[in-house]
């Protein structure tokens, strides 16, 4: 995987686009693609469209842009995002899960926030965080967390669980929230029917 990261240096803007999803990386990569396309078209497809000095100038500009972009990208190459869990992340996840199961929502959220700062690509922690947000009634935040996880590579193995959580959010009221407000799920449904 390390070699492929460095191959992104070959195309201006690609390190930030591919490795970080940066909008400025997309703009730079597209601008370079357009300049290369124009140089190719004026050189080999329609060579009589522009004069030879202008074609040489286009290729010189393309090479200058490429050289400057590669040198600047090498100097500020984005560091790799940690993929696996470190030992501290495992410990934090165990504590967060224990707090979640004990229904200590505030403690679980605090630990999960710390864990996701330490290991932002931890799919299991992201799933637990989204579930916690759903359980505490913050549906919009939970939807955003689940959408972020679904779009990430680490969310690929959690797609079914994400779909189940989103399905639960589409139903009426969560029994855990009802019980936290002093009642049973049956009492809540009788109150809403009355």
The b-or-e profile of 74-107 (16+ CB within 10 A means b, else e) is: eeeeeeeeeeebeeebeebbebbbebbeeeebee
Residue 12 lies in a domain: yes
Q: Does 52 lie in the same domain as 93?
A: no
- Residue corresponding to tokens 């100038």: 57
Residue 192 lies in a domain: no
What's the pLDDT at 80? Answer: 63
Q: What is the CATH number of the domain that holds 98?
A: 1.25.40.10
Residue 193 lies in a domain: no
- 182 vs 1: CA distance, rounded Å: 52
Residue 82 lies in a domain: no
Supply 78's token pair. 């984005």
The residue out of 30, 51, 75 marking a domain boundary is: 75
Residue 99 lies in a domain: yes
The residue out of 52, 75, 98 marking a domain boundary is: 75
Q: Does 108 lie in the same domain as 21?
A: no
What pTM did the predictor assign? 0.50
What's the pLDDT at 90? Answer: 87
Residue 81 lies in a domain: no
What's the pLDDT at 181? Answer: 44
**Comparing C-alpha atoms, which of 44, 62, 43, 38 is closest to residue 53?**
43
End-to-end CA distance of the chain: 60
Describe the crossing of helices 123-135 and 159-170 by its angle, rounded to 10 degrees: 10
- 150 vs 142: CA distance, rounded Å: 12
**Comparing C-alpha atoms, which of 14, 134, 146 is closest to residue 73?**
14
Q: Does 29 lie in the same domain as 7?
A: yes
Q: Does 46 lie in the same domain as 138?
A: no
Supply 147's token pair. 């959408």
Q: Does 37 lie in the same domain as 15?
A: yes
Q: Number of structural domains, the chain?
A: 2
Q: Does 95 lie in the same domain as 159?
A: yes
What's the pLDDT at 122? Answer: 87
The residue out of 23, 43, 75 marking a domain boundary is: 75
Angle in degrees, CA 168, 94, 144, rounded to 5: 35
What's the pLDDT at 22? Answer: 81
Q: Does 183 lie in the same domain as 94?
A: yes
Q: Does 148 lie in the same domain as 175?
A: yes
pLDDT tens-digit profile, the chain (194 residues): 467 777 888 889 888 787 777 888 889 899 999 999 999 999 999 888 889 999 999 999 999 999 988 888 887 776 665 555 567 888 999 999 999 999 999 999 999 999 998 888 888 999 999 999 999 999 999 999 998 888 887 888 888 998 898 888 887 454 454 444 444 444 433 333 33
Residue 156 lies in a domain: yes
- 144 vs 127: CA distance, rounded Å: 11
What's the pLDDT at 191? Answer: 35
Residue 124 lies in a domain: yes
Domain of residue 131 covers 87-187
Cβ pair 10, 77 in contact under 8 A: no
């Amino acid at each position: 995987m390390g070699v492929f990261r460095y191959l992104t240096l070959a195309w201006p803007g690609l390190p930030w686009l591919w490795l970080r999803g940066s909008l400025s990386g997309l703009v730079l990569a597209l601008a370079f693609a357009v300049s290369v396309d124009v140089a190719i078209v004026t050189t080999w497809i329609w060579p009589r469209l522009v004069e030879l000095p202008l074609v040489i100038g286009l290729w010189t500009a393309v090479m200058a842009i490429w050289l400057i972009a590669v040198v600047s990208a090498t100097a500020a190459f984005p560091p790799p995002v940690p993929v696996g869990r470190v030992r501290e992340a495992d410990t934090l996840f165990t504590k967060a899960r224990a707090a979640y199961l004990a229904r200590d929502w505030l403690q679980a959220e605090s630990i999960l926030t710390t864990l996701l700062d330490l290991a932002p690509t931890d799919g299991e922690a992201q799933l637990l965080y989204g579930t916690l947000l759903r359980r505490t009634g913050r549906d919009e935040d939970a939807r955003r967390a689940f959408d972020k996880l679904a779009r990430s590579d680490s969310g690929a193995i959690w797609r079914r669980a994400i779909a189940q959580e989103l399905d639960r959010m589409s139903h009426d009221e969560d029994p855990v929230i009802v019980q936290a407000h002093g009642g049973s799920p049956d009492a809540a449904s009788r109150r809403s029917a009355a």
